[in-house]
Amino acid sequence: MKKALLFTSAGVFAIVVYLASCAKMVAPSGGPKDVDPPVVVKSLPPQNSIFFKGKSIQITFNEYITLDKLNEKFMISPPMDRKPEISLRGKTLKIEFSEELKDSVTYTLYFQDAIRDLNEGNPLVNFQFVFSTGGYIDSLSVTGNVFMSYSLNPSKNVLVMLHSELADSAPRKRIPDYVTIASETGFFRINNVKPGKYRLYALSDNNNNKLYDLQDEAFAFYDHVIDVSPESNYLSPGEDSLMNGSRVDSLKRPIPVEGDYQLYLFTAPVKKYYLTSSTRSMQYKLVYTLSRPPDSLAFDFIADEKDKFLIEKNATGDTMTVWILESLLWSQQEIRTLIKYPFTDSTDNLVYRTDTIPMRYFAVKPVRGKEKREILSITTNISGGFLKPGQNIMLASAIPLLEPDTSGIKLYLAEKDKRTVIPYQLFADTTDRKRYILKAKLAEEMRYQLITTRGAFRSIYGIVSDSAAFTFTVRPESSFGHLTVILNNGEGKMIVQLLDKSEKVIAEQKAEANERVLFPFLEKGTYRLRVIYDFNGDGRWNTGDYDLKLQPEPVSFYPDEIDVKTDWRIEQEWDVGRRNEKSWKLRDIKQQQTR
């Protein structure tokens, strides 16, 4: 009996082991990775249905899906006051409407790339679902491009809006009739639009309410009313790939498309006057900043004894720096200061405001026995031990300077066996109390030494500089490249800017039509060119203003990059007759990412 039980137990154990090994899940080896997006297999109602009277829509896919950033990506056009409720059950997406649908209206549900398969995250790109509560599907479209006005590059997550309400107040007070999102190339297409006259706008909708109601929202407007009609804007069924979901390869660059209407985003200028900041970063330094330059309006520091303060303002006048000269004042942890400045009140009237501003500074107590002597730091523009031909030496401090002791400043020609004193002239920079300019006759490819002894420079607080030595060589002209730009077909005043590859401004020159602009002493490298059409002649680029119906001042880019080589003199002709021009190869269009 015991033996029989033993055999029976062993048999059961073997069967269990065998079944467990058969049921064990083993990851498949090899095989292609799934790169296909989900596919719609059915929907209730069907795509492009008419006479829709229901309260919800169900869309079923061939695989399980997930929703990525749906709150950011989903839109319905025309917009609704309350967004539909969207839920997932298995492979089915359900959209339930939270308010009554309008009669005889074509609706488009935009999902962008929010719908993705559950396992690999492959997106269904630009998926849209269209239906109508009337007897037909509106089949007109509006296309165009949106770019940032200063760089002419596309911007992310920009809404493009059509308003049938033609009043100027519409983008601020009413949600649009139609809305879409521009692609990463800046292209947009608003589909299923009914015939009529519309205003066209673009908006970086920071608060997600589809209204242009925030100061810092980028905005664009088309100057004219557009007429959407079958003759010019017909969209045949299936013509536009944006109507259907598709996969975009992760390494494939988006194809730029030029639409019918061009919009240029700008951030409106600050119009109200107010104090934006007041800081005391040093015990004797007070800084006050206004929201905008005051022009001829007063921006003053008020004190009974003005001789106890040194007051400086920046070039635009919107930043005032006050240096306290009296130690009994600056040693206080809190100083109550009085300033007068222009202020825009709640009724939008400009008044003068006088405010008492407490300025606090808490000095860090030094560790006992380790208090260090404060030294005045002096910096120069001698970069990498070199100066350009004809370049003056700049000597600067972070604190206003007294007149330097020139007996402690020596400039030498440093030859192999001897040093020769070089005469120089030292000038205070009339625009900056913290900087001096040293001028001298310097020869190319010669080695020089600038030596300053301790105390040669002294701040207004009596802090003295330490001894220092700067060795440098004047590079020969032949070690640089020189670029001359010949402007053709220009008109009016312009500003020509030399940019690096990241479009940082290297140098700029004011110019007029058909002038030659010289950019000398350039390092070897790749450069770009931008021209600003300076309509108001103020010597700078000006943003747009929707209240005044002013577009931002247009710009254009030279169509290619320019390679500057050592000891080359390049003359480059440039047709600047067309505004807001930039070649696609220069636009900052990133590679599409599907994950």
pLDDT classification of 433: cutoffs 50, 70, 90? very high
Give the SS3 label for residue 391: coil
Comparison of pLDDT for 526 and 22, the residue scoring more: 526
- Per-residue pLDDT of 92-118, as tens digits, reads 999 999 999 999 999 999 887 899 999
Domain 140-265 fold: Immunoglobulin-like (2.60.40)
Range list for CATH 2.60.40.1220 in the chain: 40-132, 379-475
pLDDT of residue 360: 95
- Per-residue pLDDT of 53-96, as tens digits, reads 999 999 999 999 999 988 878 888 888 888 899 999 989 999 99
CA–CA dist 155, 151 (Å, integer): 10
Question: Mean pLDDT over residues 10-30, rounded?
Answer: 45
pLDDT of residue 234: 52
> In terms of Cα–Cα distance, which of 53, 178, 68 is closest to 120?
68
pLDDT at 199 over 70: yes
Domain 40-132 fold: Immunoglobulin-like (2.60.40)
Dihedral sign for Cα 503, 505, 506, 510, please: positive
**pLDDT exceeding 90 applies to what percent of the chain?**
74
pLDDT of residue 366: 66
CA–CA dist 281, 22 (Å, integer): 73
Range list for CATH 2.60.40.10 in the chain: 140-265, 479-586
pLDDT classification of 369: cutoffs 50, 70, 90? low
Residues in Cβ contact with 341 at an 8 Å cutoff, skipping those fewer than 6 apart: 273, 275, 288, 290, 294, 298, 299, 300, 352, 353, 355
pLDDT at 252 over 60: no
> In terms of Cα–Cα distance, which of 307, 462, 493 is closest to 400?
462
pLDDT of residue 72: 78
| DSSP single-letter state for residue 64 | -
pLDDT of residue 254: 61
pLDDT of residue 482: 97
CB atoms within 10 A of CB 530: 22
pLDDT classification of 3: cutoffs 50, 70, 90? very low
Give the SS3 label for residue 192: strand
Question: Mean pLDDT over residues 149-173, rounded?
Answer: 94
Identify the bridge partners of residue 467 per DSSP, sorted by sequence position.
none
Comparison of pLDDT for 371 and 585, the residue scoring more: 585
pLDDT of residue 4: 44
Question: Mean pLDDT over residues 391-410, rounded?
Answer: 96
| Range of lowest pLDDT (29-33, 143-147, 342-346, 519-523) | 29-33
pLDDT at 185 over 60: yes
Domain 479-586 fold: Immunoglobulin-like (2.60.40)
pLDDT at 262 over 50: yes
Residues in Cβ contact with 380 at an 8 Å cutoff, skipping those fewer than 6 apart: 393, 394, 395, 396, 450, 470
Q: What's CA 316's distance to the chain center, in Å?
A: 22
DSSP H helices, 481-534, are none
The CATH number fitting domain 275-360, selected from 2.60.40, 3.90.550, 3.40.50, 2.40.10: 2.60.40
379-475: what CATH class? Answer: mainly beta
CA–CA dist 100, 106 (Å, integer): 14
| Contact predicate 88/65, CB 8 Å | yes
pLDDT of residue 233: 63
pLDDT of residue 30: 53
CA–CA dist 336, 358 (Å, integer): 4
pLDDT of residue 31: 58
| Contact predicate 357/403, CB 8 Å | no
Phi, psi dihedral angles at 283 (to 5 degrees): -65, -25
Comparison of pLDDT for 12 and 133, the residue scoring more: 133
